[in-house]
Amino acid sequence: MIIKKKNIRTIVITCALLGIIIFSIHSYNVYMSRQIYNEGTSNVKASYSQVNQTFNMFAQRNWNVLSDWNVYLTKILNNDSGLQWNDFVREKEKWHYSDFYLFNEKNQFITIEGRSGVADNAKDAFNELFKANEPVISSYISTKGVRKVLFAYPSDGITVDGISYTGLAVSYDNTDVERMLGDKAYKDQSDCYIVDSAGNVILSIEPKTEIDDMVDNLINFIGDNATDYDTDDFYDVKTNIADGSDGCFAFSYNKKDYYMTYQPTGIKDWSIVGIVEAKAVSSFMFQVQYSTILLIGIMFICVILLICMYVMKNTRLKLQKEKLTVMAVSHEKEISDMLLNSLARIVDRYALCDIENDTYEYHERLARKLYPERGSYSDLVETISNRYTLLSEEESKDISELLSLENIYSQIKNEHDYFKFECAENNSKLFLSMTVIPARWEDGRLTQYLLVSQNIGEKHKMADLANTDMLTELYNKRYFDTIMNMRVQRGKAFAMIFMDLDFFKPVNDIYGHPVGDEVLCNVGKRIINSIRTADYAFRIGGDEFACIIDGNADEKNCLEGIERLQRVICNPYNIHGRKIKIGVSCGYALYPSDADKVESLLKIADSRMYAEKEKHHADRR
């Protein structure tokens, strides 16, 4: 049976370690993938920011040149200077353009090389200029199937051979634009496009990789052909490009992973889109990631193998040790039972607390039994905490804190450890010393302990005299101040009630002080009988009394308690055959809702008490 349990434990540990390995590798892989993605897209975005700036400069240069040519051509063509017109032909080699030409709304055109005709292929691009009436960039497919990039500029009108032209344009083969503007940092492993807000390709400015050269709409192409991408992220791509925002995106195409970044160009509603193969950006980081995962896996496997070897090597020794332990536990139990029987003859009372099963057994040597003989350990701790108050340096704590499992485990770590504390029963003269002693251990864990209780009334007799009012035997003003400060320091809610007897002076004047003293003693007894054992009653001095009510009382509950006290105290007193009637004025304060300092609480209660006293005297008048 022991061997079987050990085998099961080994299997469980091994499975747990395997689970940890898989989880760790997965977590590391997810984390590193995210980091690589963030770093890679950040680098790609930075690269295409430079391309974007270059594109803007290129566009602006063409518009500036067209503007200058518009003025110049108007002048030279009106003077019919053919030589100067031919000067523009020589600019072709310098600027690498495909054609420079004039055109009009009828799609008629004439190039600087003398070609003329009707350009139906470019009519959409021409119409875009006339519709916007401002410089534009567009693209079209020529009759030879080549994508052309067109920079157009409006003109006031230039007449050549009797035909009026209202626009100037310079066009480039898309491949020439790619060569002039393309970023070669990724060695032909990247694409770059200028797209409009709907994703339509205006032009491409970088050599292609796997993506079709003649893509019309880049967003639709990726949506239809890409794989392994997040649909929410793809939706964000469409939304952001439409809104002119920037961002990044990851997808796969033809079994290759790609990073895509996009950002507005600042021209119209266009965005520049860069697509780079992931390994071209992050190949080194991927190698680090895979190598690290492999290393982690090897390390964990080695650890598991070492653990298995250790377990197998020590199995026999552990079995022998367990047998010896069983024998020792059995012997220890016999000794413990003998000690418990002997202990019952010596101490006043003790409880054997089974913290493992939340039970206890209570033994009492004296006549007065303080608790039930058996029950729940949690209930026993609650009962002791409510009935007693800690003394000396422990006053700012609860007994429940000292007897909590956390505190017991922290203080009792071996069979030689123990701790004790002193406490007093509320509103009585019972003082106890309680000692926590370990009684039973299982697998090095404390499972049972003895809570030994001894009366120490004599020790606290003098202290009790100092805290007790000699006439009424209630607690005095000194102890009232101590309890108030202790309660506020602990930060637990309570209610404080001030009571001042009304019409008590005539009792002393008419019947004498001995009768007045008996009335005060009877008032004290009635107060004690009207509150709980967990609460406190005090004689502050003269005919002034006070109560401290434990717990989170609200104003309604406090007023109900005051009404009960007034009803009890105001009942007539029969002293030596004389029927004596007095009144009482009460004031209260709630901690912490009324105030969180002792001085403030006393002022509030005192003010409420005297306000009620004034009312009582006014009613009597």
Residue 369's identity, in one-letter code, is K
Q: How far is CA 422 from CA 389, 436, 457, in A?
A: 9, 12, 11
Closest CA to 30 of 18, 41, 42, 22: 22
Name the one residue in this structure whose structure tokens are 């598991």.
304
Q: With 80 as the cut, is the pLDDT of residue 323 above it?
A: no
| pLDDT at position 564 | 93
| pLDDT at position 78 | 60
Mean pLDDT (whole number) for 142-169: 83
Residue 231's CB is within 10 A of a number of other CB atoms, namely 8
DSSP state of 443: T
Lowest mean pLDDT of 103-107, 134-138, 428-432, 524-528, name the range.
Answer: 428-432
| pLDDT band of 89, cuts 50, 70, 90 | low
Annotation marks residue 120 as catalytic:
no
Q: Please tell me the distance from the alpha carbon of residue 33 to that of residue 31, in angstroms, as a whole number.
A: 5
**How much is the CA Rg of the chain, to the nearest whole Å?**
48
Residue, of 2 and 108, whose pLDDT is higher: 108
pLDDT in tens, 572-616: 999 988 899 999 999 999 999 999 999 999 999 999 999 998 887
Which residues on neighbouring strands pair with residue 433, listed in sequence order?
A: 422, 454
Closest CA to 33 of 323, 174, 224, 228: 228
Can you give the three-state secondary structure of 74-108, one letter per residue?
HHHHHCCCHHHHHHHHHHHHHHCCCEEEEECCCCE
| pLDDT band of 147, cuts 50, 70, 90 | confident
The SS3 assignment for 467 reads helix
Q: With 70 as the cut, is the pLDDT of residue 206 above it?
A: no
| pLDDT at position 15 | 79
Q: Please tell me the distance from the alpha carbon of residue 620 to that of residue 612, in angstroms, as a whole number.
A: 12
Q: With 50 as the cut, is the pLDDT of residue 3 above it?
A: no
Residue, of 613 and 327, whose pLDDT is higher: 613
pLDDT in tens, 6-17: 567 767 777 777
Q: With 60 as the cut, is the pLDDT of residue 162 above it?
A: yes
Residue, of 211 and 448, whose pLDDT is higher: 448
| Cβ atoms of 167 and 63 closer than 8 Å | no
Q: Which of 114-128, 261-275, 444-458, 503-517 has the highest mean pLDDT?
A: 503-517
Give me 382's structure tokens.
């609650």
Mean pLDDT (whole number) for 498-514: 91
| pLDDT at position 86 | 55
DSSP string covering 260-316, please? Answer: EEEEE-SSTT-EEEEEEEHHHHHHHHHHHHHHHHHHHHHHHHHHHHHHHHHHHHHHH
DSSP string covering 222-270, please? Answer: HHHH-BS--HHHHHHHHHHHHHT--EEEEEEETTEEEEEEEEE-SSTT-
Mean pLDDT (whole number) for 300-328: 73
What are the phi and psi torsion angles at 21 (to 5°)? Answer: -60, -50
29-298 shares its CATH topology with 344-459: yes
| pLDDT at position 2 | 46
Residue 293's identity, in one-letter code, is I
- CATH number given to 29-298: 3.30.450.20
Residue, of 188 and 433, whose pLDDT is higher: 433
pLDDT in tens, 376-388: 999 999 888 888 8
Could you state, in order of their start, the residue ranges of all structural domains in the chain? 29-298, 344-459, 468-620
Lowest mean pLDDT of 474-488, 506-520, 607-621, name the range.
Answer: 607-621
Residue, of 515 and 279, whose pLDDT is higher: 515
Which residues on neighbouring strands pair with residue 424, listed in sequence order?
A: 389, 431
DSSP state of 217: B
| Cβ atoms of 590 and 580 closer than 8 Å | no
Q: Please tell me the distance from the alpha carbon of residue 537 to that of residue 550, in angstroms, as a whole number.
A: 12
Instruction: Catalytic residue, from 191, 543, 550, 594: name it.
Output: 543
pLDDT in tens, 37-78: 777 778 778 877 878 888 788 888 888 888 888 877 777 766
Q: What average pLDDT does the chain have?
A: 81
| pLDDT at position 334 | 65
| pLDDT band of 121, cuts 50, 70, 90 | confident
Residue, of 541 and 97, whose pLDDT is higher: 541
| pLDDT band of 478, cuts 50, 70, 90 | very high
The SS3 assignment for 449 reads strand
pLDDT in tens, 332-370: 666 656 666 656 556 778 888 998 899 998 888 766 677
551 in the Ramachandran plot: left (φ > 0), alpha (ψ -120 to 50) or beta?
Answer: left
Residue 192: half-sphere exposure toward Cβ, Cα within 13 Å: 30
In CATH terms, the fold of domain 468-620 is Alpha-Beta Plaits (3.30.70)
| pLDDT at position 82 | 47
Q: Please tell me the distance from the alpha carbon of residue 354 to that of residue 2, in angstroms, as a whole number.
A: 25
Mean pLDDT (whole number) for 197-205: 82
Q: Please tell me the distance from the alpha carbon of residue 595 to that of residue 559, in angstroms, as a whole number.
A: 18
The SS3 assignment for 36 reads helix
What does the chain come to in residues?
621
Q: With 50 as the cut, is the pLDDT of residue 83 above it?
A: no
Domain 344-459 = CATH 3.40.30: no
Closest CA to 585 of 571, 573, 570, 602: 570
DSSP state of 504: -
Give me 584's structure tokens.
């009482």
